[in-house]
């Protein structure tokens, strides 16, 4: 595989040179090169692992740390460009735009790409606005996606592992990280110091040595964007949202974004538990729900995944199984499940209440209870798009 990637890099180096090494031309050229080489057809994971394990040396690595890729491996470098291989075991990349240009393809596995549109200020270290889903679609081996600075997306890696190949420029441009439902953070590559700070906070928290006063003192020394990144990673690493709710009012420099930041951190805590299942179809449904995909799009993606099967019929069964495994952050009793099933089928609340009256032999239809249950179901961030 490594010789094939080197030939890909050589070809891309020549074609890009003929285009004057224009950054704007690179995504199209990279996508064409990836489509022509069709590396997914000859890719074998065991051969890839053997080649990497026995290699005497690798090109200078873009990243030596796990993070974006577990691990990321730079396989080839040419003037102004490189080709990276990413192993993925984490389920999702954060929502981000790109500080580079290029294209990527899947070599193995299954992914869901969700594209977004941010409405708000176009400049500023920290910006508050709204983030809306534009499109969601399945990615399979061999599919190629261009990467421009206009692309804002998140990719859910459904298979364990998923492997992707990226051909990209090395020139650094502005990158933006987005926190749902509406914070934009301008950022450069995370520095070694930033990585070490994350590790120190995680160790202090895990060993019971992190006091609120200490956290306030440490975060108060950072610029607002750096402090928000640190808070986001802290909750992501530790799940300790309660501490953040206590210390955030004590950080005056973050006051302009306190409300959106708390909402973003609570949003982070409501993510489904992908590690509770290794089934690609379960993980696909979780990714669609967590992305806020509208019902029509959700059913279309599920139909593409399993052609010839009724996508709506399998949703309820999967939801029941996922609730039982703890992959969803809520559980429903038998009555709640019946109300959910009726709502998914588009039944009016009066019909659901009548069916419950017949099933449980009560004297009057429990319409008020059904309406309250439907309101609670639709209040769930994960179920709201599915229920309409």
Distance CA 98, CA 83 (A): 16
> In the chain, pLDDT over 70 holds for what percent of residues?
98
Q: Cβ distance 167 to 33 under 8 Å?
A: yes
pLDDT computed for residue 189 by the predictor: 56
Query: Is the pLDDT score of 380 beyond 70?
Result: yes
Lookup: tokens for 240: 């300790």
CA distances for 300 relative to 158, 259, 284, angstroms: 17, 35, 12
In angstroms, the Cα distances linking 336 to 133, 270, 285, 370 are 29, 20, 20, 9
- Supply the pLDDT for residue 191: 65
What is the full DSSP assignment across 239-279? --HHHHHHHGGG-GGGGGGHHHHHHHHHHHHTS--GGG---
pLDDT confidence band for 187 (50 / 70 / 90): confident
Q: How far apart are CA 205 and CA 221, in angstroms?
A: 19
30 burial via Cβ count (<10 Å: 0-12, 13-18, 19+): buried
Mean pLDDT of all residues belonging to the chain? 89
Rounded to an integer, what distance in angstroms lies between the CA atom of residue 341 and that of residue 221?
Answer: 51
Give the model confidence (pLDDT) of 324-373 as tens digits: 888 888 888 888 889 988 988 889 999 999 999 988 888 777 889 899 99
- DSSP assignment of 70-116, as one string? SSEEEEEEETTEEEEEEEE-SSBPPEE--SS-EEEEEEES-EEEEEE
Instruction: List the domains of the chain with CATH numbers.
Output: 2-187 (2.60.120.10), 192-269 (no CATH), 274-387 (no CATH)
DSSP symbol at 308: T
pLDDT in tens, 250-296: 999 999 999 999 998 888 767 777 778 889 999 999 999 999 999 99
Mean pLDDT of 225-246: 86
Structure tokens at 231: 């808070």
Beta bridge partners of 84: 74, 166
What is residue 109's predicted lDDT score, i.e. its pLDDT?
95
Specify the pLDDT at position 216: 92
User: What is the arithmetic mean of pLDDT over 137-145?
Assistant: 96
What local confidence, expressed as pLDDT, does residue 75 receive?
95
Structure tokens at 90: 């984490």
pLDDT at 188 over 70: no
372 or 236, higher pLDDT:
372
pLDDT at site 127: 93
Torsion angle of the four alpha carbons 71, 86, 232, 153, in this order, in degrees rounded to the nearest 10: 180
Q: What is the dihedral of CA 24, 30, 35, 41, to 10 degrees?
A: -160
- pLDDT tens digits, one per residue of 288-331: 999 999 999 999 999 999 999 888 888 888 898 888 888 888 88
On the question of pLDDT at 101 being above 60, the answer is yes
Cβ atoms of residues 305 and 284 within 8 Å: yes
* Cβ 322 vs Cβ 282: under 8 Å: yes
Confidence category of residue 190, pLDDT binned at 50, 70, 90? low
How deeply is 347 buried, as exposed, middle or buried, from its count of CB atoms within 10 A (0-12, 13-18, 19+)? middle
Predicted local distance difference test score (pLDDT) of residue 302: 93
Which strands sit side by side in the sheet containing 183-187, from one edge to the other? 126-128, 183-187, 175-179, 95-96, 153-157, 111-119, 130-139
Percent of the chain scored above 90 by pLDDT?
A: 52
Q: Between 99 and 167, where is the model more confident?
A: 167
Distance CA 388, CA 373 (A): 15
Model's pTM, two decimal places? 0.88
Q: Between the CA of residue 367 and those of 345, 357, 363, 384, what are the distances in Å?
A: 17, 9, 12, 20
Residues 23-36 have pLDDT tens digits of: 999 999 999 999 99
């Amino acid at each position: 595989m490594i010789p094939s990637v080197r030939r890909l890099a050589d070809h891309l180096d020549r074609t890009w040179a003929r285009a004057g090494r224009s950054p704007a031309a690179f995504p199209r050229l990279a996508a064409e090169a990836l489509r022509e080489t069709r590396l997914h057809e000859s890719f074998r994971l065991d051969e890839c692992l053997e080649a990497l394990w026995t290699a005497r040396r690798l090109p200078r690595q873009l990243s030596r740390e796990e993070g974006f890729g577990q691990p990321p491996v730079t396989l080839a470098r040419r003037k102004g460009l490189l080709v990276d291989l990413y192993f993925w075991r984490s389920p999702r990349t954060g929502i981000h735009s790109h500080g580079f240009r290029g294209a990527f393809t899947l070599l193995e596995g299954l992914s869901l790409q969700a594209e977004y549109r941010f409405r708000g200020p176009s400049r500023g270290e920290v910006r508050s606005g709204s983030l809306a889903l534009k499109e969601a679609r399945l990615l399979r081996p061999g599919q190629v996606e261009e990467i421009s600075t206009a692309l804002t997306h998140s990719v859910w890696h459904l298979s364990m592992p998923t492997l992707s190949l990226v051909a990209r420029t090395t020139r650094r441009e502005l990158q933006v990280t987005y926190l749902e439902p509406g914070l934009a953070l301008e950022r450069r590559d995370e520095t070694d110091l930033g990585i070490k700070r994350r590790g120190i906070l995680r160790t202090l928290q895990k060993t019971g040595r992190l006091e609120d006063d200490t956290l306030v003192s440490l975060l108060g020394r950072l610029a607002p964007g750096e402090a928000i990144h640190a808070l986001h990673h802290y909750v992501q690493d530790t799940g300790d949202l309660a501490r953040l709710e206590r210390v955030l009012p004590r950080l005056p420099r973050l006051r302009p974004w306190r409300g959106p930041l708390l909402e973003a951190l609570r949003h982070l805590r409501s993510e489904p538990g992908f590690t509770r299942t290794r089934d690609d179809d379960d993980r696909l449904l979780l990714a669609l729900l967590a992305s806020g995909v509208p019902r029509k799009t959700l059913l279309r993606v599920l139909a593409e995944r399993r052609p010839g099967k009724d996508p709506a019929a399998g949703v309820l069964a999967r939801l029941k199984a996922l609730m039982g495994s703890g992959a969803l952050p809520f559980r429903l009793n038998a009555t709640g499940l019946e109300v959910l099933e009726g709502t998914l089928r588009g039944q009016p609340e009066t019909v659901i209440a009548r069916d419950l009256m017949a099933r449980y032999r009560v004297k009057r239809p429990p319409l008020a209870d059904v309406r309250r249950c439907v309101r609670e179901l639709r209040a769930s961030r994960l179920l709201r798009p599915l229920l309409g």
